[in-house]
Structure 1
């Protein structure tokens, strides 16, 4: 490790900073501000300097924009906002793709974007997009989180069209940005234009795709003088009506709460949700999980998604842990299985949550999140005495994340991350701390990354401490790139209370080499081929658990068809310490061959589709599986779109864990597993602020075991066992969402959601698809109706209203 670090540091010292040309645009203050109508006919635009001479970002590299599709942009400002006027000329405006879509969805449409970096640090940027369908998108760009489109602010835009092309007019209030005051400020700036009909994208300041991050290639916005950041305070009070019905029982509730944003300083913002309501979060794509690891679901709650770039540093924070299943839920099912379990909640209510994030002008980033969850109880009835009792499965708990991160040299950073979970009483507590660094040389050609982490779990008055690390050295410039990575965790490392890890106790080394193009060829717009190899070991005992190699290629041709092909294999035996579900036991298997292919057609067309195939075969056995996926999409017009998804996954002669007997004998079985997933989506956009959508998913999985079962022997191999219980499974998960959204003013909206759910599991794995569906539809349904109104209030606007009323 010391050798690699010194080598990287040596390169950093000797390398010369690449000379990056930075265009400059001079803005000017105006007293008569434009009306945001997309017309650009006000006098305020006449004397503004023009940003022009855009160059190609993709698929080419620096090519000049066509004369008949040139782009010109002007920027002006006043005491409350900056204003952007974009002239997007097009010789065939009738052919401009302009699909209507909901916020933060590009759809099939052209777009214009402005990227602003008030700190001019080359790493962090705010981006505001407007499509030719008038849809708004906004995002934060940072080294920690990449493109974060969950970030939302309130700003204003309109578009218009004529025989010369289309036009964008934007107003971005200073309250939507984070910056420090000054007599004269210099901001980083870049401008983007996407022409969807030709899949071309142009930028104002040239971006070298072969090295560094694109934020390092911004130009400069000058002329901003004497701007005082406003009081950044906004309130989003909400009210919601919720009706929940299942099997004839109906519950209703009326909830009121509020989300709040407050600019503590010029660069740091406090977010708070008081009496949160997450009833309208999307449904999870639940599957039948036969493996030893939990299924991972993405975050659906907006509060935990938005502005979480710093909090995700070091990969210690998994927000779904907050409000997840109670820590004692499984104990109830195991301990009281002979009693009647009336209620055993599978989630914990979040009482409140607060977070503070931001980064100073000198690159110091700070992120803090704190959330509190309430006491949760299971209700048990003793079947002999009839006595009812409540068992606490999760106490009052506090979840905290703290991050300090210093960026420097426009391409490097070092930080400390801490997560902490405190539960009331004698329940389990957890603390994890990590040192995180990413160091690049000045030429952005090499990077060294290091994470070192310790965890401490306190349970039953005993502290258990573990350690983990990850190191990577990579070449990050040019067509040929490579990397080598080592990851380690001892058998006591555990970050799962507020993070996510599948397992610990590993000592792995991996390497990768790749080749890619940055300019189109005679056949391809994009092409990349890579080779990966990894050797995996157990830390304690120090034994090899296997290896894996993979060759992968991806390409997009000139007709915008994309292809991917992957071929992978293990060599020799694989030693699995997790499938037996007993510490210290292992299972030996032969290696496996796998191949996967993918094709995506041109999604500029009204009818487009993606199709994927995968095949897996275990060497020296009859175990094999294959998967077929097919997902067509039809865009009927610029307002209406439909999509369908079908996945068939069949596993044949697949051995796997079944049960552990009282005498600790581990039972395996050979199963046939069929999985079929059908999904449908449809959306109609009335305009850029109002839409109705439907999302449907039915997942069906059957598992049929052979009559002969096996025991796992001490040497890791299987031998026949007389075990004969029925473990067949027939599992269904059904979800239907019908959602209407109306953004009646920027930042304020009404959302109405109807959800229909069914989940069912039995042992009738022999049913046909039709028989299963008929039986499923006879099960009790869950119905949810949620109507929620959110109203956005900006403190500065409220203050102006009050002044007008009093004058």
Structure 2
């Protein structure tokens, strides 16, 4: 067992971050709040410092802003909020693009962005964006990743003048986390001028090294803030009607979300009796492989402000309220004349809380806890109508604890623990991880890694597992590279609250890339990279596969982008997971894959993306092709549609189909076709009111020929007399029609019509038209729902009394 957790000590000494002297702006304390109307006519605005002399961020690197498109920013504060007044000069304001979009949606518009870091730690920013249309966006930024699922309540207004447009902003302290005794905050300002394809920034950012958050300017002079209580409530009520196969079900729900500032740095979020009925549908797919598919989290409570909990990739929130762990057991112990009459496929969540924040010394603390209710299946005697219940999931508690110490604006050490405790004799699990991410004083080299331990208690037995990771990187300049090693053993198990494709793996990998940061003669940007890996089983130490990949992308001066990739394997590959039997493997040759793509300029009314991939297995008839075509058309600034077509055909693939009573492992030769049609459209009445459509039809027929094989001990296939039908015809149909109206800050009314159809049979020979006819023979689930959310701020509520 090889691990290197102490190599980080070589990097720890003498680590600090250095860069050019940052710009500064001093903030002005005011006694009366301005009217947020986009007009900077209050007298105090003329007494503030001015942030100006922006420099180019993209496509160039530090060039001066255009004389006719300069930007100035003024800043003030009181005990309630911090205020910004930005004047964005433009000698042709009629050319400023004005495509309407809702919150956090960035289309064909200009925008002004504020990036604030109250602790000035170089790693944790909060972004507030105002587009030229007036639409808002906000995000938490950690480790260079923007999380736009986070939303806060703040105020802004845009006003156009003959030679500029003005943005006036009020950000209440309830939207920020800060220490009251910190008088210098990190801050930066960005401006996008979309119609000339340029971005500017106030404090220069060296794109060749480090993260954007490490290049903040300084906001000085903040003193003695007497911030009000940070407490808000979001009560909600919903009603829904579902019809299916002639039956109807009416449901209603009320609940409450609470956000409380424990102090100036820490916030408690809680949801009571949550309602996820209007959560977006998943893009489900047919899974023929041995591993679970991972889907994105769609529930807002689990996506907002979770940057701390994502550390170490140990928290997969979809485990909470997922399928009961013993759902299949309901069918296992049926007596004569019994049948399962109700077997829920989801576990109800009773409540959940998040407590998170960061101290002035850089220690981030995150605590998450959720409780799900006991779930039972109902079994009915068909003769006596007597009913009995079988517990498929006990009362369960899910907990995540994160301690994240950041230092020197570019490094961190983190401890993560996840725990699932189920009532009674059900399975319990605990996982602990130690993570480190450390850069040198010049931000040129980085070492990152982790060590994780899992512990599972099930059926009276205890199983322990481990995982380790180490990567060394050069992180500056045109040429960057990294090498690393990842390893876990065959008992490493984090699936109770995390996600892992496979365990028992040992992998060595490396990458080298070349990228430009200043435009060249023909390109604004391009990057070429080569990466490779070689994998083994951890136990026994057996070679499994290798991979080599060459990637490239290019962006021209007129925003036409294109790229391609080549991927291949050398020699034989040994798949120890496709056979579904421990110790057995399937031996195959490698694959050569070639792909290319283009993407046109989204600023134009009509644009499109095209991607084509072809692959072939060496010394085999197995091959595949995939085509993805996605045109988009903007009819007006208020109406746009995007169509996405995906087609793939995998021919002559050998894959697992069954295991017989005599332990024979049966493989079949199959063709797998997948066709996906998706359509999304939106009509925006205003930036706060819109009607949107989301449609997806996924169709995947799988056809086996008459040849079946038995897997032998050498990993190859022998002809077998096995006969059975394993053809699959798999369909998923989803349609959402959604009206959303943000009638007040943080308050929303949503009306949703949804239908879905699912079909799985063996009619894989149907063509597309006949398959649709077959699909619509199935019953359609129709759902109508209405949800009302109202934001209540405690400080405003006090004024009502």
Q: Please give the range of the TM-score, normalised by the shorter of the 2 chains.
A: over 0.9
Shift of residue 41, structure 1, vs aligned partner = 2.4
Match in the other structure for 2:678: 679
Task: Please tell me whether residue 719 in structure 1 is matched to residue 714 in structure 2.
Answer: no
Distance 1:727 1:313 in 2: 42
Match in the other structure for 1:128: 128
Deviations 1:540-587 (A, max 9, x none): 111100100001111111110111211010001111011111122111
Distance 1:529 1:631 in 2: 25
Extract unaligned runs of 5+ from structure 1: 803-807
TM-align CA RMSD: 1.7
Answer yes or no: is the 8 Å Cα contact 1:117–1:189 preserved in 2: yes
Deviations 1:614-671 (A, max 9, x none): 1111100100011000011111111111110100011111110101112221111001
Distance 1:564 1:386 in 2: 64
Counterparts in 2 of 1:153-552, with a 5 A limit?
153-182=152-181, 185-332=183-330, 340-381=339-380, 388-552=387-551
Distance 1:348 1:693 in 2: 29
Shift of residue 783, structure 1, vs aligned partner = 1.1
Distance 1:216 1:267 in 2: 20
Answer yes or no: is the 8 Å Cα contact 2:268–2:356 preserved in 1: yes
Task: Please tell me whether residue 53 in structure 1 is matched to residue 53 in structure 2.
Answer: yes
Match in the other structure for 1:576: 575
Match in the other structure for 2:137: 137
Match in the other structure for 1:70: 70
Shift of residue 593, structure 1, vs aligned partner = 0.7
Distance 2:441 2:418 in 1: 32
Distance 2:202 2:580 in 1: 57
Answer yes or no: is the 8 Å Cα contact 1:133–1:688 preserved in 2: yes
> What SS class does the counterpart of residue 225 from structure 1 fall into?
coil
> What SS class does the counterpart of residue 197 from structure 1 fall into?
helix
Distance 2:793 2:563 in 1: 48
Answer yes or no: is the 8 Å Cα contact 2:11–2:438 preserved in 1: no
- Report the CA distance shift for 1:526/1:12 in structure 2 as closer, same or farther (over 3 A): farther
Answer yes or no: is the 8 Å Cα contact 1:453–1:469 preserved in 2: yes
Shift of residue 19, structure 1, vs aligned partner = 3.1
Distance 2:36 2:582 in 1: 65
Answer yes or no: is the 8 Å Cα contact 2:16–2:409 preserved in 1: no
Shift of residue 332, structure 1, vs aligned partner = 3.8
After TM superposition, the score normalised by the length of structure 2 is 0.98
Distance 1:35 1:794 in 2: 19
- Report the CA distance shift for 1:506/1:3 in structure 2 as closer, same or farther (over 3 A): closer
Distance 2:112 2:296 in 1: 29
- Report the CA distance shift for 1:512/1:40 in structure 2 as closer, same or farther (over 3 A): same
Deviations 1:59-80 (A, max 9, x none): 1000000000000111111221
Shift of residue 294, structure 1, vs aligned partner = 1.3
Answer yes or no: is the 8 Å Cα contact 1:114–1:128 preserved in 2: yes
Distance 2:7 2:421 in 1: 42
Answer yes or no: is the 8 Å Cα contact 1:34–1:44 preserved in 2: no
- Report the CA distance shift for 1:16/1:348 in structure 2 as closer, same or farther (over 3 A): closer
Match in the other structure for 1:625: 624
Shift of residue 385, structure 1, vs aligned partner = 7.5
Answer yes or no: is the 8 Å Cα contact 1:611–1:630 preserved in 2: yes
- Which segment is superposed worse, 294-303 or 380-389? 380-389
Deviations 1:580-612 (A, max 9, x none): 111221111111111121111000001011110
Distance 2:100 2:53 in 1: 29
Distance 2:602 2:716 in 1: 49
Answer yes or no: is the 8 Å Cα contact 2:16–2:408 preserved in 1: no
- Which segment is superposed worse, 677-686 or 240-249? 240-249
Task: Please tell me whether residue 84 in structure 1 is matched to residue 78 in structure 2.
Answer: no
Answer yes or no: is the 8 Å Cα contact 2:116–2:185 preserved in 1: yes
What count of residue pairs does the alignment treat as equivalent?
800
Deviations 1:731-787 (A, max 9, x none): 110000011111110001101111100001111111111111112112100011111
- Report the CA distance shift for 1:180/1:488 in structure 2 as closer, same or farther (over 3 A): same
Extract unaligned runs of 5+ from structure 2: none
Answer yes or no: is the 8 Å Cα contact 1:20–1:217 preserved in 2: no
Answer yes or no: is the 8 Å Cα contact 1:417–1:435 preserved in 2: yes
- Report the CA distance shift for 1:374/1:6 in structure 2 as closer, same or farther (over 3 A): closer
Distance 1:556 1:618 in 2: 32
Distance 2:186 2:6 in 1: 32
Shift of residue 44, structure 1, vs aligned partner = 2.8
Deviations 1:481-533 (A, max 9, x none): 11011100001000000000011001110000111000100111111111101
- Which segment is superposed worse, 732-741 or 161-170? 161-170
Answer yes or no: is the 8 Å Cα contact 1:8–1:441 preserved in 2: no
Counterparts in 2 of 1:691-770, with a 5 A limit?
691-770=690-769
Answer yes or no: is the 8 Å Cα contact 1:8–1:447 preserved in 2: no
Answer yes or no: is the 8 Å Cα contact 1:516–1:529 preserved in 2: yes
Match in the other structure for 2:101: 101
Answer yes or no: is the 8 Å Cα contact 1:488–1:508 preserved in 2: yes
Distance 1:249 1:491 in 2: 47
Answer yes or no: is the 8 Å Cα contact 2:27–2:48 preserved in 1: yes
Counterparts in 2 of 1:562-711, with a 5 A limit?
562-711=561-710
Shift of residue 800, structure 1, vs aligned partner = 2.4
> What SS class does the counterpart of residue 570 from structure 2 fall into?
coil
Shift of residue 463, structure 1, vs aligned partner = 0.5
Shift of residue 380, structure 1, vs aligned partner = 3.2
> What SS class does the counterpart of residue 631 from structure 2 fall into?
strand
> What SS class does the counterpart of residue 294 from structure 1 fall into?
coil
> What SS class does the counterpart of residue 227 from structure 1 fall into?
coil
> What SS class does the counterpart of residue 318 from structure 2 fall into?
helix
Answer yes or no: is the 8 Å Cα contact 1:55–1:64 preserved in 2: yes
> What SS class does the counterpart of residue 152 from structure 1 fall into?
coil
> What SS class does the counterpart of residue 224 from structure 1 fall into?
coil
Shift of residue 225, structure 1, vs aligned partner = 2.0
Match in the other structure for 1:21: 21
- Which segment is superposed worse, 326-335 or 162-171? 326-335
Distance 1:201 1:769 in 2: 46
- Report the CA distance shift for 1:485/1:445 in structure 2 as closer, same or farther (over 3 A): same
Distance 2:412 2:596 in 1: 38
Shift of residue 289, structure 1, vs aligned partner = 0.8
Distance 2:616 2:382 in 1: 49
> What SS class does the counterpart of residue 519 from structure 1 fall into?
coil
Answer yes or no: is the 8 Å Cα contact 2:434–2:450 preserved in 1: yes
Distance 1:382 1:728 in 2: 34
Answer yes or no: is the 8 Å Cα contact 2:17–2:409 preserved in 1: no
Shift of residue 387, structure 1, vs aligned partner = 5.3
Answer yes or no: is the 8 Å Cα contact 1:5–1:448 preserved in 2: no
Shift of residue 466, structure 1, vs aligned partner = 0.5
> What SS class does the counterpart of residue 616 from structure 2 fall into?
strand
Shift of residue 381, structure 1, vs aligned partner = 4.1
Distance 1:450 1:532 in 2: 19
After TM superposition, the score normalised by the length of structure 1 is 0.97
Match in the other structure for 2:38: 38
Distance 1:499 1:382 in 2: 38
